[in-house]
Chain A
């Protein structure tokens, strides 16, 4: 099945720089999540719109780090990055379309 089968596997020593980078990204994700909590509980409920906008921005920041660093997409070739990202425009379209639709249904009831 696999023509490249081999018994000679060379174990390489860990790259300290790479591992430090992984933990750095983990730390960023943790801090952003902690900030989300801070915003949820420290900002008074009158600032609802600001809260929601901050949550969405923080979610996109987290998604950027998970997809870009953990899933390694940031280090792939440009054509692969765009073939994954551009179709997500459909999601944005559907989101806007259905939220507006939901609002209209409420008004029409």
Chain B
């Protein structure tokens, strides 16, 4: 094995014969790409399951203005997500999710600026933009925590639902949602909400941790000693991927 590793750049003909990097990307970046592809399949599977379960439940037939929550049909997302912090009882459909989307896109922009600064070995600029990225990530997580809390506690009026208790159908009013009951619609709607946004939120949280590690290592001069800032680029790929997933979650969970 040891003699094969040393013949670099001798094969002039075939690009794929070995001893070269046909993708012209470093090992670490390439592996990050392949990891992100596997992660893309996981998220696709989750979102496609949402599609399957949504299509196997009846849709609401009437005019959206007359829409009410019921266990009988799938809810219209903009009727579910219409609360904004400090504006209790004011229906503002999708405004809060829209703010979250802009926050995540902006933190993606500051990440690109950090990567760009890394290319120039500009430690001060990398530190500055990494801090903005971390701040964006944390703000997004805070918004998501509020969104979850609101979803779990539910609205003031609640929804009536029938339960089979001791062989009798009893009508009860449900407030909010958990994994067994759901005021907004069929219980799988809440389960999918928790699973998809939760899985994405876990990615954001680990992204913030990685970003912090990169910031720490930049600030202590680790990458200056190493001579290059490629780690910023690799973690940047991951962070953009998290933003990309949110773009899809936003469309297929909140808008459609």
Contacts from A to B (Cβ < 8 Å)? 2, 4-7, 9-15, 18-19, 22-23, 25-26, 29-30, 33, 36-37, 40-41, 45, 52, 55-56, 58-59, 62-63, 66-67, 69-71, 76-77, 79-80, 83-84, 87-88, 90-91, 94-95, 98-99, 101-103, 105-106, 109
Contacts and interface: CB of A to CB of B under 8 A. Distances in A.
B22 A59 contact: no
A11 B122 contact: yes
A70 B255 CA distance: 24
B49 A40 contact: no
B121 interface: yes
B164 interface: no
Interface size range of chain B in the complex: 35 or more
Given A98-B52, A106-B55, 18 more contacts: A11-B122, A26-B106, A29-B105, A37-B94, A40-B78, A45-B63, A62-B247, A67-B244, A70-B109, A70-B240, A76-B23, A76-B24, A77-B25, A84-B33, A99-B51, A102-B53, A106-B56, A109-B56
Given A7-B225, A22-B113, A70-B108, A37 B98 contact: yes
Question: Interface of chain A, helix or strand or loop or mixed?
Answer: helix
B52 A70 contact: no
A101 B25 CA distance: 40
A54 to B, nearest CB: 10
7 contacts: A5-B225, A5-B227, A6-B225, A7-B225, A23-B109, A59-B248, A70-B111
Given A59-B251, A67-B244, A12 B121 contact: yes
Shortest beta-carbon contacts, A-B, top 10: A102-B55, A102-B52, A12-B120, A105-B56, A98-B52, A102-B56, A6-B227, A26-B109, A59-B251, A91-B44
A103 B55 contact: yes
A9 B224 CA distance: 6
Contacts of A29: 105
Interface string B51-90: 1111111100001100000000000001000000000000
B230 to A, nearest CB: 11
Contact of B240 (A40, A71, A77): A71
A98 B49 contact: yes
Contacts of A69: 112
A44 to B, nearest CB: 9
B246 to A, nearest CB: 10
